[in-house]
Structure 1
Amino acid sequence: MRVVGDVAYLLPVGGIEICTLEDTAALAARGHRVDLFFGLEGEQRRLFEQAGVGLHGPVSFKLTRRTPIRDLLGFLPAIRTVRRLKPDVIWLSRAEHVVWARLLAFAAGVELVTHLHHAPSSPRTRWLTKGVARFLAVSEFTRQQWIAAGVPGDRIEVVHNALPPGRYPVGGEEEQRAARASLGLPTTGRVITFYGRFSEEKGLPTVLEAFRRIERDDVHLLLAGFYPPQVDTSEVRRAVESLDPARVTVVGPESDVIPFLHAADVVVTPSWVDEAFGRTIVEGMSTGRPVIGARVGAVPELLEGGMERLLVPKQDADALLVAIEAVIDWRDAEPELGARCSAWVEERFPYAQHLERVESVLQHFVRG
């Protein structure tokens, strides 16, 4: 099967880009030809090319009200390329690129399958998505958002995100010591990890407030990530800088987040906004750590049925503090919890099943 898709950035800026890399690499490993148009160059080019994924670009995916004719003309290079590639199906990773993808599908004479990694962003969603043969939503929560926007429910299938085997390995005490040494963290005591975007929407102010209220001296906070450039993060910056540097370590983003996770006793991700999936939850739990998340978006969907105690109300530092204190000493009080966390991910979000379903849907819409 020959698949053509999109990736906005050749950078690990978020879950969509990481999922696209993992899934296209896996499809290529199964013998399919995968080509991606990209918008911005970045460090993941090497990983895509090593996986045998073809890259074309940079291209523009945008269609704006201000310059629609110029934007449509900007799609012509991609249209010429897709005719040469002769795909069997178009697989879109970002629904906001749907006009671009519909034109490519029309030019190539193939069907369009669109992955739904986030909420609808246009009031004209129903009209814009009429040319899509099937949607794959990363959660039931996301599926319901798109149904509410006017997309028929029978055209949307839920395929939960999943992690390739071995990508986020379990880390025991030896791995924890090594990770802490590499990051300059205390070798003893407990570590709380927050990683990703340093912003209000990801709940960092809630983390900082809860941490301030911890009265124990043996608890350290690891903040790993970056301040998003398009957002005013001045208040978050001041809050981080006001913390005792002896109890907090701040490091920049890395494509390999395993040391951040292995160093931790507990991971926190108390988002203020609805999460379409909540990849941080499954990444952290896969490594054998409890991950505390806010009861927003699809996060309850990931933890329901046995891990609800790791859910807290959003923007509630008191509840987050209680949840942290309840699990931070799990290695002594509940030593089986780490194994239960990793088994939870393996059993509920198996990657083989995820990939087989994506592959099956794409193959179903291959014409002829």
Structure 2
Amino acid sequence: MGTTVLVTHPGADLYGSDRVMVETVRGLLEQGARVVVTLPTPGPLTELLGELGVEVVFTPTPVLRKAYLSPTGLLRLLAATAAAVPAGMRLLRRVRPDVVYVSTITAPLWLVLARLVRADVVCHVHEAERSARPVVRRALVAPLLLAHRLVVNSQFSADVLADTFGRLERTSEVVYNGIPGPADVTPLRADVTDELRVLYVGRLSERKGVDVAVAAVGLLNQSGHRARLGIVGAVFPGYEWYEQQLGEQVARLALTDRVTFHGFSSDVWTLLAGADVLVVPSRLDEPFGNTAVEGVLAGRPVVASATSGLLEAVEGLKATRSVPPADPQALADALAELVGDWPQVLAQMPDDVAEAARRYSPRRYREHVARVVLGPVNRGGSGKPPRREQGGS
């Protein structure tokens, strides 16, 4: 029997890190590993994992959220962590994994439990909080010191880790996300001067800048450029106030007939096929830019915030535009510029699609991540630093 890998994941949605985890599981299965996945609760991800034939186990696990960053929140976190330990240990003893793959740093309990059973520990880092206060960043990153190897989704993220704890550079390896594109790319419309169809896909949160996209579309319509905005995504439980705030903003700007809330959808390709341009207006650091890459793979120009991993994800792609974060006017101006440059965009898009497909090939990702997860343990950190991913950074 091959190596047994326990994959721990903090949720059951189908956003960027969730889909990356599925590609990791595919890669491990292709290498002959036995894979067991544990999730805190059922969700859309469960069915997708079931189709791969892996065992899925539901284990309550505390997940780090901003709501815990208060004295009472920390007490709740400690209580939830203590309550989760017995179930986690029972699962580890039953599965007896050779490797525990912790798919994000938001569930650090698994790093501790895996060490207690002396399993090989690999953590996949999808987070990079360079803008956080140093003490907060060190607290978030400290559990990674327990991992034998780190898979890191961008050079930006790797640099943040190294700046936080220098020794993490020795255990980190950059592996760019593998992002499957649509089965067919729907051609762009030949003319968008009648109305620009703008799309946002992702979590509804202040840090993602959804309100910036709403404001930019409002500015476009005020300036005589007809535009509408589709918003695809949902809030984390407990953040419903932000979705309500967005609705109030839409009403205040008289955009009720110009903005559509689609809610969560697992079929982003159909929605992208009906759009002219994708916006990724994040306010804060993004460790990478899965959504931006998906937009390009769908044959859509992308306007993204000029920050962190977003710049790395779209570097060199000609039909993309980068704008300052949290600047609705800059976003509106970039969208208007795209309308004016549409013939050039039409000519550039096929090359961008081909480059993104090469750079973020799922097969390339699966082979690379499986090599890191199943590779030899570097417990002492005395070997040479792992080689970095070449190209696309």
Number of the residue aligned with 1:117 = 126
| Structure 2 residue aligned with 1:364 | 375
Contact (CA 8 Å) 2:10, 2:106: kept in 1 or not? no
Distance (whole Å) between structure 1 residues aligned to residue 279 and residue 325 of structure 2:
12
Partner residue of 1:264? 275
Name 1:180's counterpart in structure 2.
none
| Map of 1:230 onto structure 2 | 238
Which residue in the other structure is 1:194 paired with? Answer: 200
Question: Counterpart in 1 of 2:84?
Answer: 74
Question: Which segments of 5 or more consecutive residues in structure 2 lack a partner in the other structure?
Answer: 65-72, 130-135, 379-393
* Aligned 1:99-110 pairs, distance under 5 A: 99-107=109-117, 109-110=118-119
- What residue in structure 2 maps to residue 3 of structure 1? 5
Q: Hey, what's the Cα distance between the residues in 1 that align with 2:74 and 2:209?
A: 33
Provide, for residues 7-61 of structure 1, a one-character-per-residue CA deviation record: whole Å limited to 9, x for no partner: 112222x322222123213432443211111112212211111111211123224
1:156 aligns with 2:172: yes
- The reply to whether residue 41 of structure 1 matches residue 42 of structure 2 is yes
In 1, Cα distance between the equivalents of 2:53 and 2:88? 20
One-letter amino acid of the counterpart of residue 134, structure 1: R
Q: Once the two structures are aligned, what percentage of the paired residues are identical?
A: 25
CA distance in structure 2 between the aligned counterparts of 1:317 and 1:248, rounded to whole angstroms? 16
Are the structure 2 counterparts of residues 309 and 193 from structure 1 closer, same or farther at C-alpha, using a change threshold of 3 Å?
closer
Q: 1:329/1:267 Cα in 2 relative to 1: closer, same or farther (>3 Å)?
A: farther
Q: How does 1:113-192 map to 2 (within 5 A)?
A: 113-119=122-128, 123-124=138-139, 127-152=142-167, 153-164=169-180, 166-167=181-182, 169-172=184-187, 189-192=195-198
Change (3 A) 1:168 1:235: farther
Which of 335, 348, 358 matches 1:324?
A: 335
The equivalent residue for 2:301 is: 290
The Cα shift of 1:62 comes to 5.9
* Cα pair 1:133 1:365 within 8 Å, conserved: no
Paired residue secondary structure (1:292): strand
Name the CA distance, whole Å, in 1 between partners of 2:288 and 2:342.
28
Contact 1:223 1:250 in 2 (8 A): yes
Contact 1:78 1:104 survives alignment (8 Å): no
SS of 2:44's partner is coil
Helix, strand or coil: the match of 1:365? coil
* Distance verdict in 2 for CA 1:332–1:128, change over 3 Å: closer
Q: What residue identity is the alignment partner of 2:12?
A: L
Question: Which deviations, in whole Å up to 9, do the C-alpha atoms of 1:204-224 show, x marking residues without a partner?
Answer: 222122212224465332222
Deviation at 1:275, TM superposition (A): 0.5
In structure 1, C-alpha distance between the alignment counterparts of 2:237 and 2:141, rounded to whole Å: 32
Aligned length: 353
> RCO greater where, 1 or 2, for CA within 8 Å and sep 6 or more?
2
Residue 101 of structure 1 contacts residue 112 of structure 1 at CA under 8 Å; is this kept in 2?
Answer: yes
CA contact (8 A) 1:37 1:57 kept: yes
Task: Note closer, same or farther for the CA distance 1:355–1:209 as it changes in structure 2 (3 Å cut).
Answer: same
One-letter amino acid of the structure 2 residue matched with residue 111 of structure 1: D
Query: How has the CA–CA distance of structure 1 residues 127 and 136 changed in structure 2, closer, same or farther, with 3 Å as cutoff?
Result: same
Deviates more, 1:304-313 or 1:292-301: 304-313
Deviation at 1:227, TM superposition (A): 4.2
State the one-letter code of the partner of 1:363. L
Q: Partner of 2:13: helix, strand, or coil?
A: coil
Corresponding letter in the other structure for 2:203: R
Counterparts of 2:143 and 2:229, CA distance in 1? 45
Structure-1-length-normalised TM-score: 0.85
